[in-house]
Each structure stands twice: as structure tokens, then as C-alpha cells.
Amino acid sequence: MANLGSLVATGASVKVEGLLVAPPVGKKQRIELRLEKVLHVGPVDPAYPIPKTQLSLEVLRDHNHIHLRPRTNMISAIIRIRDALAFATHSFFHENEFRLIHTPIITTSDCEGAGEMFRVTTMVGEGIPQKDGKKIDYAADFFGRQAFLTVSGQLQLETCACAVGDVYTFGPSFRAEHSHTSRHLAEFWMVEPEIVDADIQDVMNWAEAYVKYMSQWLIDKCCDDMELMADKGCIDRLRMVASTPFERISYTEAVKILEEAVKGGKKFDNKVEWGIDLASEHERFLTENEFQKPVIVYNYPKGIKAFYMRLNDDSKTVAAMDVLVPKVGELIGGSQREERYEVIKERILEMGLPLKPYEWYLDLRRFGTVKHSGFGLGFEQCCCLRPALTTLETLFPSQDTQEEQICN
């Protein structure tokens, strides 16, 4: 039977019967369909807009027909890789007897005071009731008060961890921050486990085990799709991540290494000194130049970290940790949580935060506290272990929101 491609136009759906066979020697593809019967050929407009030639991600992103992009090799490969990583995530946590919790998306609490939040409302246009002609009267809004999109499910997750044991959440998070980099999306998915009876060492072990598990999963199941990625080094990097013990250094050691590098002539845009938050360039230097493998930095200065992280005995640092990966940067951030009632109360006040919104959170320490730790992983960051390929934003026609962000 003739070649199918010569019978039907590009973009048409076909339903055929045939035999999957090894191709003749010398052909590039690994398998070939020996066509036996054409069952159905669907109609297609001859003005099919996606050419058969290979297109770059940038061209696809600018393309007028973004809703047709999943039909390209690269985007469909990314869909399969993302799917594999999601299932690997659920498998990893279920094998280890974690329970999935769907933490709330619409919330009135702000996890860290860290990110700018989106407001959720049903009040529109001229109908917005304003008090004194100025302030919006949120009592008239859907929830009778201001409501926001979640920036993290961690605090709510802790209520469950302190009740049923190890738990995790895997859901969308939101940051209302305009950004020119691929590292910040307005909408992204986060994986956040919370582990009881775990200290900072334990949570580093869990983070490393999880990243290795996902890397191995991709190596085992997705090499064909990985080969379609623009980054030809990604499979080797995955093998390295899966097989190499992560380096672990304290923040203080990390700063010393960076200071030595500066003395040796290395130029950074951001100043290096104890107390700074490590910039992306510092993180990449540590993981890509200094160690050339994943690095976990732990025990950060308390001044640059959230109130809920456990104060170390030096009273200067907290039991926080970040996992840095070559070409990815910070993949995971986590900490041992402050489980001591008096200490965490003091920390909230010290940071100038109000106690009232955190009273329920403090109750988790007051009424039967337990040592626990957790971390968060940005799922887009993790796909392919390469941020440039985090392509939620390239998939959907109505993903205007994400498109917008890329254009800004």
C-alpha cells in the first residue's frame, strides 16, 4: 500500500490498521507502521497553519495558532514529560505513605507575607460599593471579606501533618509579580510535602530522594521524549542528578566559598557577604562551577527567612535549606518548622507581623506540638530540570495570562 503521507493532507486525523515493524536498515526512525487498512480520514482545511519544518520554541510561542502547538513534536514531548513527572510525584509520596491534601486555593491568609497576591472578587465595574466614596466595602463581596489566591499551602498542610502524619499537596500557586525571567510565573504548580518527626537533616534526605526518584523516572520512561528537547545535555544531567550524592554545605560555608571566588577574580553583580540572600548568580556558581552537581545549602540567616523556620541554637540562623541544581538553580526550598510555642510567637512579633491571623497556626504548637519539616518544589521549574522548558505558558490559547507575562 502507498505511503499514507501522500494520501492525506497535513493535519488530518487518520485511523488505520497496520503492523508496527522494525524499519529497513539505514532509516532514522526506530519503528515503522506497515499500513494495511485505512479506516477513516478526517477533513482538514488546506490552509493548515503549522508547517512540517522544525520550529523553535520562540516561534511557537509567537505563533498565531498557539492552540495547535501541542501538535508539534516538542510540545507534545513536553506534555508527556510533565505527565510523567506528575505521576512520579504521586508514586513517590504514596510509596512512602504520604497522604495527598488539597489545600485551599482561595484563602484569606497569606502564607509568608512573601509574595504579592491576586485578589478574588465578584464585585465589578460601577457596582463596587465604596465606603466614604473611597474604600471598597469588602463586606459586600462574595466571601464577605477580602479573599486571595494562595501563594503556598504549607500552613494549612501543617494542620494535617500534625494530625494524620506525613502529607503532601500538589496544586496551583499564584504570585502577582511581573517578571522578565522564566523563573517567575503568575500561575504555577507546587509540590509541598510536610513530614512529621523530621528535622533539617531528614528533610534534606527527603528532598534529595524525591529529586533522584523523578530523575530516574524520566531516564527510565521518557528518553525518547527527552531527545526531542532543545537542550541536548538534559539526559546526561538527569543521569548525574540521579546517581550523584548531593553536596551539603551550610550557608556560612557557601558565603566563604563565594568570597574566596571573588578574591580569586570572579565577578558577581551582587555583593557577597554574610547576611545576604544568595542571588541566582551565586547559586549557579556554587552548583555549576564549584561543585558541578546538586548542592543543598542549609542554615540561613534568620533575617532573610520566614518566621516559621526553626531557630538554631546560635540564635542567628534558622534550619532552612535550598536545593540548587546545575542549569536549574533553586529547585526546592524547605525548612524544619519552629515547633516551640514561645519561640515562634516571639519570632512573629520580632518580624513585625500581627499575632491574630496566626493564632490558629500557633495552636498547632500549643495543643500537642511535634517536630516537623517540609519543603516546596516549583513543578514548572522541575520539568526537564530546565526552566526554559517550563511550558505551561506555551500550551493553551486562553492562557493569555501566562502569555501576557512572557510578553511583559
Contacts to a copy of itself from residues 147-186, by CB under 8 A: 147, 149, 155-156, 159-160, 162-164, 167, 171-172, 174, 176, 178, 186
Stretch of 103-111, 206-214, 249-257, 300-308 lying at the interface with a copy of itself (CB under 8 A)? 103-111
The distance of closest approach from Cβ of residue 280 to a copy of itself in the complex, given in angstroms and rounded to an integer, is: 24
Q: Is 122 in the site for a copy of itself (CB under 8 A)?
A: yes
If residue 99 lies in a helix (H) or strand (E), which one and from where to where? Answer: strand 99-100
The distance of closest approach from Cβ of residue 285 to a copy of itself in the complex, given in angstroms and rounded to an integer, is: 32
Angle of CA points 102, 320, 108, to nearest 5°: 35
In b/e form, how buried is each residue of 229-259, taking b as 16+ CB within 10 angstroms? beeeebbebbebbbeeebbbbebbebbebbe
Taking the least distance from each CB to a copy of itself, the nearer of 141 and 208 is 141
Stretch of 27-35, 44-52, 280-288, 317-325 lying at the interface with a copy of itself (CB under 8 A)? 44-52
8 Å CB contact between 390 and 358: no
Single out the residue of 18, 104, 301, 333 in contact with a copy of itself (rule: CB under 8 A): 104
Single out the residue of 2, 20, 31, 124 in contact with a copy of itself (rule: CB under 8 A): 124
Stretch of 21-29, 106-114, 238-246, 260-268 lying at the interface with a copy of itself (CB under 8 A)? 106-114
Q: Is 221 in the site for a copy of itself (CB under 8 A)?
A: no
8 Å CB contact between 194 and 159: no
Taking the least distance from each CB to a copy of itself, the nearer of 25 and 124 is 124
The distance of closest approach from Cβ of residue 388 to a copy of itself in the complex, given in angstroms and rounded to an integer, is: 18
Taking the least distance from each CB to a copy of itself, the nearer of 279 and 395 is 395
Q: Is 298 in the site for a copy of itself (CB under 8 A)?
A: no
Which cell is 11 given? 493535519
Q: Is 119 in the site for a copy of itself (CB under 8 A)?
A: yes
Q: Is 62 in the site for a copy of itself (CB under 8 A)?
A: no
Q: Is 118 in the site for a copy of itself (CB under 8 A)?
A: yes
Q: Indicate the residue type of 229.
A: M
The distance of closest approach from Cβ of residue 288 to a copy of itself in the complex, given in angstroms and rounded to an integer, is: 29
Taking the least distance from each CB to a copy of itself, the nearer of 326 and 374 is 374
**Nearest Cα to Cα of residue 174 among 107, 101, 100:** 107
Angle of CA points 142, 143, 146, to nearest 5°: 100
The distance of closest approach from Cβ of residue 260 to a copy of itself in the complex, given in angstroms and rounded to an integer, is: 41
**Contacts for 279-283: CB closer than 8 Å, 24+ residues apart:** 280/183, 280/329, 280/330, 282/254, 282/258, 283/322, 283/324, 283/329, 283/330
Q: Is 399 in the site for a copy of itself (CB under 8 A)?
A: yes
Q: Is 213 in the site for a copy of itself (CB under 8 A)?
A: no
In b/e form, how buried is each residue of 283-307, taking b as 16+ CB within 10 angstroms? bbbbbbebbebbbbbbbbbbeebbb
CA distance 267 to 289: 13
Residues 327-346 that bind a copy of itself (CB under 8 A): 339, 341
The distance of closest approach from Cβ of residue 299 to a copy of itself in the complex, given in angstroms and rounded to an integer, is: 23
Q: Is 17 in the site for a copy of itself (CB under 8 A)?
A: no
CA distance 228 to 76: 10
CA distance 291 to 295: 7
Q: Is 90 in the site for a copy of itself (CB under 8 A)?
A: yes
CA distance 331 to 386: 10
**Nearest Cα to Cα of residue 214 among 351, 74, 352, 379:** 379
Single out the residue of 94, 129, 227, 275 in contact with a copy of itself (rule: CB under 8 A): 94
Q: Is 45 in the site for a copy of itself (CB under 8 A)?
A: yes
Q: Read out DSSP for 31-45?
A: -EEEEEEEEEE----
The distance of closest approach from Cβ of residue 334 to a copy of itself in the complex, given in angstroms and rounded to an integer, is: 21
Which cell is 232 given? 541536548
Phi first, then psi, for residue 289 (nearest 5°) are -95, -55
Map residues 126-145 to x or -, x wherever contact with a copy of itself holds by CB under 8 A. x-x-----xxx-----xxxx
If residue 372 lies in a helix (H) or strand (E), which one and from where to where? Answer: strand 372-378
Q: Indicate the residue type of 120.
A: V
Residues 346-365 that bind a copy of itself (CB under 8 A): 360-361, 363-364
Single out the residue of 57, 115, 189, 381 in contact with a copy of itself (rule: CB under 8 A): 189
